[in-house]
Structure 1
Amino acid sequence: MWELVEARASASPEVAALIESDRELTFAELRDQAERVAAGLQDLGIGRGTRVTWQLPTRIETVVLSLALARLAAVQNPILPLYRDREVGFVVSQVQADVFCVPGDWNGFDFVAMAERIAEEHGVHPRVLVTYDDLPEGDPATLPPAPSDGDEVRWIYYTSGTTSAPKGVQHSDGTLMAGGLGLADALELTADDVGSIAFPYSHIAGPDYLMMLLYRGCGAVLIEAFALDAAVELFARKGATMAGGGPAFYQMYLSKQRSQPGEPIIPSLRLLSGGGAPKPPEMYTEVKNEMGIPVCHGYGMTECPMISQGGPDDSEHQLMYTDGHPVTGCQVRIVTLDGEVAGTDVDGEVRVKGPMVFKGYTDASLDADAFDDEGWFRTGDLGHLDDAGYVVLTGRLKDVIIRKGENISAKEIEDLLYQHPKVGDVAVIGLPDRDRGERVCAVVETAEGTDPLTFDEMVAYLAEADLMRQKVPEQLEVVDALPRNNTLGKILKTDLRDQFRDKPWP
């Protein structure tokens, strides 16, 4: 990865790489500052193999810190800033972090105090560094040779998966670089483009996007805390040519455009792009008709950052009804539920191979179920390949809800709600939602001898249990009895989704 940073800094030294409202950093400045910070971190005892958890907002300093750690061959563990004690404590404990970088007081929350609580509760004591405005700097001449092994595990991202405990997903520089190259090729990025990072840089999409910029020599506008009006004004002022992030973002930009019909909200914009949640086909048509640009939607996951991606030269039908063509280097196979390789337009499990596939989980016992006998990663998603080789997703084997691009474990919420005295049993499902991709719905069977659980009681209970706010169900349905099969009494979530899919909400 550092070789790519060096190559881009030499080829495009004066091009703005990272752009904020009031400052910019060129590719040469990005390289130089990252090296100075790497030297400063080295002076603090951080080097090859040091495990560094960082939970930082999307800003120039975050990217610089991450590249400085890459220069030192440290093992990075990015965590989304919205995570709190429950999730962060589990991750920091499992990673056995040596250093924990936080923003201090940010967005109304004291991250240092959280780190202290975690240390007391979990018995882990990483060195806590506040790295928001001030990054340590030193003399780059003291640095060792840059790492050249792109296959070594140096990144650990966490995904909720299908169980309560998050899963640590291990990546190398090479896997992240392959994902970025696939994205750059699919979107036909050029040096004239100006991208945008309005999502958390600590998401797997962060390095994906940065690698894309390094490969193509163009910059991106960074948004620390997304607010629609401010983002639109900044993107227009800085000449952004790409924006998006996922269906929730598409819908926000569309709503903004409707407030000023006939006058482009971002005149320089040539496309919206993103992924993380299903895109309704009609959303493409609305954006195309009202904003005059295409929506290029893609498909990826923490374990494989880029699987398929729509491109600006794809047909309208492909952009509306598919999740794009497999990206450069990614192989996609569809396997039916009886284990046969599926033909065109035949649904089955999506399985993938390629240089962007992760290096296994931190808990190696999970790897056997994650890969088949031929080494294909089992995504747990259902879909098919059309006659042009484009990926069409149709459902999910895994019990994961994707809300605004983030994986939410149904079981985690179920395990908490099951403990409520008014809950006899519970099933948590994802329901289609135009703005969120999916919304979280809890279906509760009332415990015998109690009154039905109310929505406010559910929210208060989950908040007291320290569940992240973004995971709290938006919808509660109370039923006399949950539907079950006749063999093992398993709750039939498919029936529940069918029952509540079209119910007016809210």
Structure 2
Amino acid sequence: MAAVTTSASAVIPIDDLTFWEVCERRARLTPDRLMIVDERDRRITFGEFRDRAERVAAGLHQLGIGPGSRVTWQLPTRIETLLVCLALARLGAHQNPVIPAVRGREVGFALRQTGAEWVVLPGTWNGFDYVEMVSELDWSDAPRPRIVVVGVDDLPDGDPATLPAPPTDPREARWTFYTSGTTSEPKGVLHSDESLMWGGRGYAERMRLDADTVFAMQFAIAHIGGPNLFCFMFSVGIRTLSVERFDPSSLAELFRRHRVNLCGGSVAFGELLLREQRRRGAGRLLPDLRQLGGGAGPTPPAMFDQITAELGVTYIPAYGMTEVPMIAVGYPDDDVELRRGTDGAPVRGIEIRAARLDGTVADPGEEGELQIRGPQVCKGYRDPAQSAQAFVDGWLRTGDLGMVRPDGRIKLTGRIKDIIIRKGENISAREVEDLLGTHPLVARVAVVGLPDDERGERVCAVVERVPGQPDLDFAEMQRHLLAAGLGRYKLPEQLELTDELPTQGSMLKISKAAVRRELLARAGAGT
């Protein structure tokens, strides 16, 4: 039976177990070990967490939630949220986490598609009333879910003796996560405890997490990365700093106080920490931080270099998606060029191939659509038509373009739908972004295709300004790209400047859909 070992020689088997079973085993093994500390300096051990989660489960059960109940929750990153999540796992409820940034239309879609009977909300948080939002949705065509409000130190409570037996099948699809894409509505991705746990284990093994790891949870726990973290905590016994709001200035103080040595999330988080480092000047912003994990999209080489040099950390690329929580992770001891030039190597259990447009398997080093299979892969989508379209002979089509190198490492090159076709020539938006992103007057960049009567599509570069620096002009952009080796036929015909590019989701990925919509709206308005 596969297991993860800690520096304290604790062994927690995680195959064929549910989240609740792994939680119980960790609580029995190291009940007094600190599990979580938050920005309020509240602390909870593994034993206390298990006991409290059982009481919360009993309180929810008294309200009518039990095995198979359909529950959506939209809560900030708090200890209470982790307790609610594990309490629902203890009950065997079907849960649908939704990140707090999502609003009415998308929340309503998730509630209807999952058939939610219950929705757990924080009341008013960060100036927004979630109860009012759900209450004002149109329920004329669907049953209105019952609302449970939880807050800081305010959770349902009951006697664990009243609980039904916990679930025992880790392969049952009891989770729905929504992902935004190019479709008009978000896609509901189905996961089991097993698929989520395999994702977490792959990351933990590759990053060599142990009982001395202090991990920062500064992202939305409702993100697909949340269950990854549960796996780290329970299987390895790591300590976690829970952060409710991401503010680089206050976060730096928290990191130093609690000696955080590993932080994950996305390149956007790394960029925000980099800005804070520059604002403060000399001296390391985060002296205990050894590793910074990437994810939520490729890392531009220029940003990799800046994060590595200025933050003084080992930046580890990672590749995952809502459908497959962890696909590839870099090796911490890889040399800089390998970590800079690839997106990691497949974690345990993952098989990956690149497929040509005709469906045949590409050769090593040849670009194609990346396709995945393995125990981490989701069970499909709530919409059967989306499942039928996404899977080919058991392989999940990712929609990502990339290659599998001869050494097995992955290199992402773009998205199938992120290819701009100008005068019949395919242009990779990612290639242009990577090269333009090395210019000192470019903070971030998004390259999109816009309709063009003559060319079919034209290439537009939208550049986020560097604060306090002059604007990049069109001639300088072209000069830089040509000097960097970009083919002349790939040069952008249009340059737009902005103070801040729009982002989506808790990982702060640039939203190219929003960039393109804004440009088309401005063109339609004649501005």
1:87 matches 2:106: yes
Q: Deviations over 1:399-431 (max 9, x none)?
A: 69xxxxxxxxxxxxxxxxxxxxxxxxxxxx998
Distance 1:441 1:394, change over 3 A: closer
Task: Tell me the distance in 2 between the aligned counterparts of 1:13 and 1:241.
Answer: 23
Q: Deviations over 1:296-343 (max 9, x none)?
A: 121111111111011311221221011101011111111111222122
Task: Tell me the TM-score normalized by structure 1.
Answer: 0.80
1:16 matches 2:58: no
Task: Tell me the distance in 1 between the aligned counterparts of 2:70 and 2:231.
Answer: 22
Deviation at 1:472, TM superposition (A): 4.3
Q: Deviations over 1:224-257 (max 9, x none)?
A: 1111101111011011011241111111112222
Is 1:439–1:474's contact at 8 Å kept on the other side of the alignment? no
Deviation at 1:200, TM superposition (A): 0.7
> Which segment drifts farther, 272-281 or 469-478?
469-478
Task: Tell me the distance in 1 between the aligned counterparts of 2:285 and 2:401.
Answer: 36
Task: Tell me the distance in 2 between the aligned counterparts of 1:332 and 1:240.
Answer: 33
Deviation at 1:121, TM superposition (A): 5.6
Task: Tell me the distance in 1 between the aligned counterparts of 2:174 and 2:517.
Answer: 39
Tell me which residue corresponds to 1:6: 24
1:273 matches 2:315: no
Is 1:79–1:158's contact at 8 Å kept on the other side of the alignment? yes
Deviation at 1:438, TM superposition (A): 6.2
> Which segment drifts farther, 48-57 or 249-258?
249-258
Deviation at 1:398, TM superposition (A): 3.9
* Letter aligned with residue 315 of structure 2: V
Is 2:418–2:448's contact at 8 Å kept on the other side of the alignment? no
1:282 matches 2:302: yes
* Letter aligned with residue 53 of structure 2: A
Q: 1:326 aligns with which of 346, 369, 381?
A: 346
Tell me which residue corresponds to 2:170: 150
Q: 2:44 aligns with which of 12, 18, 25?
A: 25
Tell me which residue corresponds to 1:415: none
Distance 1:176 1:478, change over 3 A: closer
Task: Tell me the distance in 1 between the aligned counterparts of 2:397 and 2:60.
Answer: 38
Is 1:299–1:307's contact at 8 Å kept on the other side of the alignment? yes
Tell me which residue corresponds to 1:106: 125
Q: 1:473 aligns with which of 504, 512, 515?
A: 515
Percent pairwise identity:
45
Task: Tell me the distance in 2 between the aligned counterparts of 1:241 and 1:115.
Answer: 39
Task: Tell me the distance in 2 between the aligned counterparts of 1:79 and 1:238.
Answer: 28
Deviation at 1:437, TM superposition (A): 7.0
Distance 1:43 1:235, change over 3 A: same
Distance 1:47 1:243, change over 3 A: same
Task: Tell me the distance in 2 between the aligned counterparts of 1:173 and 1:3.
Answer: 11
Is 1:281–1:321's contact at 8 Å kept on the other side of the alignment? yes
Deviation at 1:262, TM superposition (A): 4.6
Distance 1:438 1:216, change over 3 A: farther
Is 2:177–2:190's contact at 8 Å kept on the other side of the alignment? yes
Is 2:77–2:221's contact at 8 Å kept on the other side of the alignment? yes
Matching of residues 125-204 of structure 1 within 5 Å: 125-133=144-152, 134-204=154-224
- Secondary structure of the residue aligned to 1:277 is coil
Q: 1:37 aligns with which of 52, 56, 60?
A: 56
Tell me which residue corresponds to 1:354: 374
Deviation at 1:445, TM superposition (A): 8.0
* Letter aligned with residue 71 of structure 1: R
Is 1:443–1:479's contact at 8 Å kept on the other side of the alignment? no
- Secondary structure of the residue aligned to 2:252 is helix
Tell me which residue corresponds to 1:66: 85
Is 2:35–2:239's contact at 8 Å kept on the other side of the alignment? yes
Q: Deviations over 1:180-211 (max 9, x none)?
A: 00110111111001001111111111111221
Deviation at 1:179, TM superposition (A): 0.4
- Secondary structure of the residue aligned to 1:177 is helix
Task: Tell me the distance in 2 between the aligned counterparts of 1:356 and 1:41.
Answer: 29
Matching of residues 73-472 of structure 1 within 5 Å: 73-120=92-139, 122-133=141-152, 134-373=154-393, 375-398=394-417, 432=433, 439=446, 443=450, 472=514
Distance 1:188 1:480, change over 3 A: closer
Task: Tell me the distance in 2 between the aligned counterparts of 1:173 and 1:317.
Answer: 36
Task: Tell me the TM-score normalized by structure 2.
Answer: 0.77
* Letter aligned with residue 2 of structure 1: W
Deviation at 1:391, TM superposition (A): 0.5
Deviation at 1:119, TM superposition (A): 4.7
Is 2:286–2:311's contact at 8 Å kept on the other side of the alignment? no
- Secondary structure of the residue aligned to 2:155 is coil
Task: Tell me the distance in 2 between the aligned counterparts of 1:109 and 1:481.
Answer: 33
Deviation at 1:124, TM superposition (A): 3.0
Is 1:271–1:293's contact at 8 Å kept on the other side of the alignment? yes
- Secondary structure of the residue aligned to 1:155 is strand
Is 2:57–2:160's contact at 8 Å kept on the other side of the alignment? yes
Task: Tell me the distance in 2 between the aligned counterparts of 1:480 and 1:204.
Answer: 34
* Letter aligned with residue 218 of structure 1: I
How many pairs align?
433
Distance 1:45 1:436, change over 3 A: farther
- Secondary structure of the residue aligned to 1:76 is strand
Task: Tell me the distance in 2 between the aligned counterparts of 1:123 and 1:476.
Answer: 33
Is 1:441–1:475's contact at 8 Å kept on the other side of the alignment? no
**Structure 2 stretches lacking a partner, 5+ long:** 1-18, 420-428, 454-495, 497-509
Is 1:442–1:476's contact at 8 Å kept on the other side of the alignment? no
Distance 1:216 1:480, change over 3 A: closer
Deviation at 1:397, TM superposition (A): 1.3
Is 1:284–1:294's contact at 8 Å kept on the other side of the alignment? no
Distance 1:72 1:476, change over 3 A: closer
Is 1:104–1:130's contact at 8 Å kept on the other side of the alignment? yes
**Structure 1 stretches lacking a partner, 5+ long:** 401-428, 447-454, 456-468, 483-506
Distance 1:119 1:61, change over 3 A: farther
Task: Tell me the distance in 1 between the aligned counterparts of 2:452 and 2:106.
Answer: 27
Q: Deviations over 1:85-111 (max 9, x none)?
A: 111111111111000111101111111
Tell me which residue corresponds to 1:419: none
- Secondary structure of the residue aligned to 2:136 is helix
Distance 1:481 1:287, change over 3 A: closer
* Backbone CA RMSD of aligned residues: 2.7
Task: Tell me the distance in 2 between the aligned counterparts of 1:117 and 1:20.
Answer: 33
* Letter aligned with residue 108 of structure 2: G
> Which segment drifts farther, 32-41 or 262-271?
262-271
* Letter aligned with residue 22 of structure 2: L
